[in-house]
Structure 1
Amino acid sequence: MSKLTRKQDALDYHASGRPGKIEVIPTKPTHSQRDLTLAYSPGVAEPCLQIAENIEDVYKYTAKGNLVAVISNGTAVLGLGDIGPEAGKPVMEGKGLLFKIFADIDVFDLELNTKNVDEFVQIVKALEPTFGGINLEDIKAPECFEIERRLKAEMNIPVMHDDQHGTAIISSAALINACELQGKELDKVKIVVNGAGAAAISCARLYVSVGASKENIFMIDRSGVIRKDRAKLEPIKAEFATDQDLNTLEEAIQGADVFIGLSTADVLTAEMLSTMAERPIVFAMANPNPEIAYDLAVATRSDIIMATGRSDYPNQVNNVLGFPYIFRGAMDVRATTINEEMKIAAVRAIAEMAKKPVPEAVNLAYNIQNLRYGKDYIIPKPMDPRLITSVSPAVAKAAIESGVARKEIEDWDAYTEGLRLRLSKEDALLRSLNLKAKSAPKRVVFAEADNYKILKAAQIVKDEGIATPILLGNKETIAHIIKDNCLELSGVQIIDPKDEAEKLEKYSEFLYKKRQRRGVSQGMAARLVTDRNYFGSCMVEFEEADVLISGLTKDYATTVKPALQVIGTKPGVDRVAGMYLMLTKKGPIFFGDTTVNKNPTVNELVDITVLIEKAVRTFNVEPRIAVLSYSNFGTVEGEVPEKTREAVRILHEKYPEIIVDGEMQGNFAINSELLKNNFPFSTLRDQPANTLVFPNLESGNIAYKLLQELGEAEAVGPILLGLNKPVHILQMDSSVREIVNMVTIAVVDAQSK
């Protein structure tokens, strides 16, 4: 098992808190007796009677239209084989999670205890009244072909076996673009498919549908090239049998334009690759290790276009580019099936999207300055938010045009905007930041490394490639914690400041010179730098580390003081401020100041707002700032309304480019409809604020903690703003997840500096 998926980490992830990865939550109010009588008896009788009268009303009054069943019998689970339905359940839950976060589709996963095709079909067919779509998953070949064929024929809702069609759709889009870039005609290229399972057969079929010639496709299984004269040739493989005198991959690959790998690692050698035609196309999609290593392939053929199934190389063929959006489009028009026209529409939409200018958010997420169509970008990135607004409408239109839709879409612009708003907003930003951090990891010094949570977080950020940890503390104590908890931190630098005489001398001399006129003597400087917060701050100041993380076991003021004395504020910045990123169901909202300035003056409030505005932009978010009060634009007089009102006036005057308004109450700030109806002159009337500036520390601190506990929002921070170099302070007793999130943001901060 790889470092990223250590056995115990994976087990802990699935077992912690509520077991599993998904839950069911109510979508209607349930707080009163009236709510309950409407939800169940007697109120529920009314929609029941309406549906009995008109069965199509089931889509109006129930969740059917947004509910997919992910169904498996566990006979071909990932690379694990036939491990049974119970053992396959974590995978099905994971598929449900992807449906939800990428396309806002709800899922019930169903694991069936049968290997009998007739029984499987009978069970699934009987579930049609419950679901709007059926996603078949991890069913072994050849049974999967027969199961899908029969269910598609006998059911009137979309059915798709993603193991077959997901890879086929994504790789078809990649193949179209790769052929275009390599100057090859799809109907003339010679294609070698290594593998003859469900995915391979479906890929070959779809390649033919989008323009490839069946006669130019050569398929290879464990016995060699599939030939028409093979004894006991399976019917499903006979479709791509050749009458040419070819026996091995080595023979078939000679002069081939395209290699499609859906098999095992390292079966395509550099020698074989060198015999392919000019400007070859290689899709080595075996996971986790491709049929030929990426580095070896590009070193062997400089004229190659290559794709793999891995995220750490260009051109990842990832099913998540397809299935969430295909089902979204199919279900939104109540399609009776997912037909060939809809699959081809998805292929074309994905292929065309790669040719369009890439949003800056995607460039930032992958730390690429200008991602554009070319040999290293033939299909979109999985994190591209445009997928739902490109693929789903294309699929929906194809369903309507091919006559399988039962619902028309009259306003396509409104439909597309609705799709955009469906995206899972609360964690999309953090996923994007995680990718950005991994693109250029930084050296992070942990001042409190004699703590299990810190060490566990250090292991995670090291394994995930987010950061290179540096641990401060007693070496024996740290080694003891690592051993007792079976942590893997071999090779990580551990520093005990007390043992670093040379560094202590250098740091104390620096601190004395910097603070000698602020009450720090030479002796005091020598004592202070032995403190790990001072020592870590000096490491960052002397560029021996990029980021300092501290605060887990000490109060905020004690932790931030060394950073202020050693590093200081940015040029032109007079103060620091604290900001929290709150991940809410309505998207990310930034809160400030929540940790530093107790009762800022008007000018201080202006400075804090400018600091926060610049910080929010580093997250690739356009700040829309509300300066909060208990008054709305003069409705109440008092010290706080007057202060916030004056701060906004100065901001409008000195920083006209900043989108900011106030003073206003919190509910008006985040409810643009409420604001527009009552104060239509406000600069925030068209969209809600995403950045809230509080009039004092008390209100900001109370607000974020209440939202965290009662609103089920995840708080990431505090993010310290205004320092000349990155230092970030943890909440006392943060969880491991919170520490990892903070390190991620700290690394992104260091990248921006």
Structure 2
Amino acid sequence: MGGMSMDQDNEVFELHKKHTGVLSIEPEMQVSNKKELGEAYTPGVAGIAKDIEAHAELKDELTLSGKLVAVVTDGSAVLGLGNIGPAGGLPIVEGKSLLYKELSGVDALPMAVDQVETDEFVRTIKNISTSFAGIHLEDIAAPRCFEIEDKLSASLDIPVYHDDQEGTAIVVLAGLLNAAKVVGKDVKDLKIVMNGLGASGVATAKLLYDFGIHNLTLVDIHGVIRSDSSEYNSYQKELAQKIGLNVKGQSLDDVIDGQDVFVGLSDANVLSGEQVKRMADDPIIFALANPLPEIDPKVAADAGAKVIATGSSQYPNQVNNILAFPGLFRGLLKSGIKKVDFSLEIIVANALAGMITKPTAEKIIPGVFDSGVADTVTSAIINSTK
């Protein structure tokens, strides 16, 4: 087995090797005699199969397809690792599938799909969708992830959710709702600069704008995003046109003055303490790049940042999609809701923020393992239908 990394020697490697991954399939009923065999398989399932033939919707009541989520990746945009390919992406979606089961009881199946062109990818998922109650997309590069999600959502009658988009957007909004309270500012009046407009950045900016936060300056690797720039994809340009700010300057450094909030979904060490000092009073810093944030939290604090969040468990205020997706998909399955739209994302964000009754600079969002997180999200979605 050539080319193995040195990680094969560490405890994590050995743990995954021992179990051949982190998931297995467990039976819901016993098969230890002929009667049970006839109930679980032949001849009993023949009648089930004929009923489903006549009424296809019965499959969701009588087979695993009514409760199974596909967690699908092509490994083209894995956080902190980049394009590591479909096989490389499997440990990520397998881990997500385990979290679904552990945190919300949702059955999920990790799946890797080759990096084929967009329409073929969509056809592949559509062609196997009969087996599933929902599709969770993961680690698919922008801009094609937008098109894949749009086309699947339009063609399937089951929920389609891209965690890098919707999950990130929900948790960022939840954190900002409470961060605004801590600094005594109206959340909708916040001036926000967003650095990094890939899948998560675009989705987050869209949600913030739909929520009513309209003073958004968007910055990516080439600088401030403008609707007439050829350096950006159509989704980024459409977003810039929708927001419509006439921003002077081209770089992050040009636009940082007077900003209330920095939201980074980009790369390590792109924001300096000097830049934080030029922001508005009591600045809010969401430095969410992993494994290293856009600015070291201590540097940000020394420069006057009032509230600091990161994507890391090493610091307070970890903005992590785990807060959203397990309870969210359980809520979708229980409620029968087929689409994840902005209104639903806002409901979930408000529910997460509402778990912190007295926000402080050190606590603006629930912890990943705080009790009741998944239940709160699920209940919010179910209650939205009443």
TM-score normalised over the length of structure 1? 0.49
Q: What is the CA distance between 1:180 and its match in structure 2?
A: 1.9
1:182-222 Cα deviation digits (max 9, x unpaired): 11122221110011101000110111122201xx1111111
Q: 1:212 maps to what in 2? A: 213
Decide whether the 8 Å contact of 1:65 with 1:334 is kept in 2.
Answer: no
Secondary structure of 2:285's counterpart equals: strand
1:632-684 Cα deviation digits (max 9, x unpaired): xxxxxxxxxxxxxxxxxxxxxxxxxxxxxxxxxxxxxxxxxxxxxxxxxxxxx
Q: 2:278 maps to what in 1? A: 275
Match status 1:177 vs 2:163: no
Q: 1:58 maps to what in 2? A: 59
Match status 1:250 vs 2:253: yes
Decide whether the 8 Å contact of 1:217 with 1:240 is kept in 2.
Answer: no
Secondary structure of 1:127's counterpart equals: helix
Q: What is the CA distance between 1:244 and its match in structure 2?
A: 2.1
2-structure distance, mates of 1:26, 1:229? 56
Q: 2:378 maps to what in 1? A: 392
1:283-341 Cα deviation digits (max 9, x unpaired): 0001111111111111221x511100111211100110000111000011222222222
Of all paired residues, the percent bearing the same amino acid is 39
Shift in alpha-carbon separation, 1:118–1:217, aligned structure 2, 3 A: same
Q: 2:292 maps to what in 1? A: 289
Secondary structure of 1:135's counterpart equals: strand
Moved more, 168-177 or 334-343: 334-343
Match status 1:314 vs 2:300: no
Letter in 1 for 2:225: I
Q: 2:153 maps to what in 1? A: 152
Map residues 107-126 of structure 1 onto 2, 5 A cutoff: 107-126=108-127
Moved more, 34-43 or 329-338: 329-338
1:599-636 Cα deviation digits (max 9, x unpaired): xxxxxxxxxxxxxxxxxxxxxxxxxxxxxxxxxxxxxx
1-structure distance, mates of 2:302, 2:246? 34
Q: What is the CA distance between 1:85 and its match in structure 2?
A: 1.0
Task: Choose which of 304, 307, 324 in structure 2 pairs with 1:305.
Answer: 307
2-structure distance, mates of 1:233, 1:307? 28
Match status 1:376 vs 2:380: no
2-structure distance, mates of 1:309, 1:6? 23
2-structure distance, mates of 1:228, 1:202? 17
**Structure 1 residues not aligned, in runs of 5+:** 356-371, 402-753
Equivalent pairs counted in the alignment come to: 376
Decide whether the 8 Å contact of 1:261 with 1:291 is kept in 2.
Answer: yes
1:127-163 Cα deviation digits (max 9, x unpaired): 2211011000111000000000010111111100101
Letter in 2 for 1:31: S
Decide whether the 8 Å contact of 1:136 with 1:160 is kept in 2.
Answer: yes
2-structure distance, mates of 1:229, 1:118? 27
2-structure distance, mates of 1:232, 1:14? 42
Q: What is the CA distance between 1:235 and its match in structure 2?
A: 1.5
1-structure distance, mates of 2:166, 2:328? 11
Q: 2:350 maps to what in 1? A: 348
RMSD of Structure 2 on Structure 1 (CA)? 1.6
**Structure 2 residues not aligned, in runs of 5+:** 1-5
Decide whether the 8 Å contact of 2:247 with 2:255 is kept in 1.
Answer: no
Secondary structure of 1:20's counterpart equals: coil
2-structure distance, mates of 1:204, 1:244? 16
Match status 1:97 vs 2:98: yes
2-structure distance, mates of 1:65, 1:379? 32
Task: Choose which of 262, 281, 290 in structure 2 pairs with 1:259.
Answer: 262
2-structure distance, mates of 1:229, 1:70? 36
Decide whether the 8 Å contact of 1:65 with 1:332 is kept in 2.
Answer: no
2-structure distance, mates of 1:312, 1:233? 34
Map residues 504-543 of structure 1 onto 2, 5 A cutoff: none
Shift in alpha-carbon separation, 1:233–1:288, aligned structure 2, 3 A: closer
1:261-293 Cα deviation digits (max 9, x unpaired): 011111110000000001111100011111111
2-structure distance, mates of 1:224, 1:248? 5
1-structure distance, mates of 2:334, 2:118? 30
Decide whether the 8 Å contact of 1:343 with 1:395 is kept in 2.
Answer: no
2-structure distance, mates of 1:352, 1:105? 24
Q: Which has the larger radius of gyration?
A: 1
> Larger RCO: Structure 1 or Structure 2 (Cα < 8 Å, ≥ 6 residues apart)?
2
Map residues 541-580 of structure 1 onto 2, 5 A cutoff: none
Shift in alpha-carbon separation, 1:119–1:268, aligned structure 2, 3 A: same
Q: 1:13 maps to what in 2? A: 15
1:524-568 Cα deviation digits (max 9, x unpaired): xxxxxxxxxxxxxxxxxxxxxxxxxxxxxxxxxxxxxxxxxxxxx
Q: 2:3 maps to what in 1? A: none
Q: 2:188 maps to what in 1? A: 187
Q: 1:130 maps to what in 2? A: 131
Letter in 2 for 1:258: V
Q: 1:225 maps to what in 2? A: 224
Letter in 2 for 1:236: Y
Map residues 586-597 of structure 1 onto 2, 5 A cutoff: none
Q: What is the CA distance between 1:101 and its match in structure 2?
A: 0.5
Moved more, 389-398 or 48-57: 48-57
Q: What is the CA distance between 1:233 and its match in structure 2?
A: 4.0
Shift in alpha-carbon separation, 1:113–1:228, aligned structure 2, 3 A: closer
Q: 1:677 maps to what in 2? A: none
1:431-479 Cα deviation digits (max 9, x unpaired): xxxxxxxxxxxxxxxxxxxxxxxxxxxxxxxxxxxxxxxxxxxxxxxxx
Q: 1:41 maps to what in 2? A: 42
1-structure distance, mates of 2:187, 2:130? 42
Shift in alpha-carbon separation, 1:283–1:7, aligned structure 2, 3 A: farther
Match status 1:240 vs 2:240: yes
Q: What is the CA distance between 1:245 and its match in structure 2?
A: 1.7
Decide whether the 8 Å contact of 2:143 with 2:199 is kept in 1.
Answer: yes
Decide whether the 8 Å contact of 2:23 with 2:98 is kept in 1.
Answer: yes
Decide whether the 8 Å contact of 1:228 with 1:243 is kept in 2.
Answer: no
Map residues 711-730 of structure 1 onto 2, 5 A cutoff: none
Q: What is the CA distance between 1:37 and its match in structure 2?
A: 1.3
Q: What is the CA distance between 1:6 and its match in structure 2?
A: 5.1
Shift in alpha-carbon separation, 1:397–1:177, aligned structure 2, 3 A: same
Q: What is the CA distance between 1:259 and its match in structure 2?
A: 0.2
Secondary structure of 1:187's counterpart equals: helix
1-structure distance, mates of 2:230, 2:23? 48
2-structure distance, mates of 1:220, 1:6? 36
2-structure distance, mates of 1:7, 1:79? 20
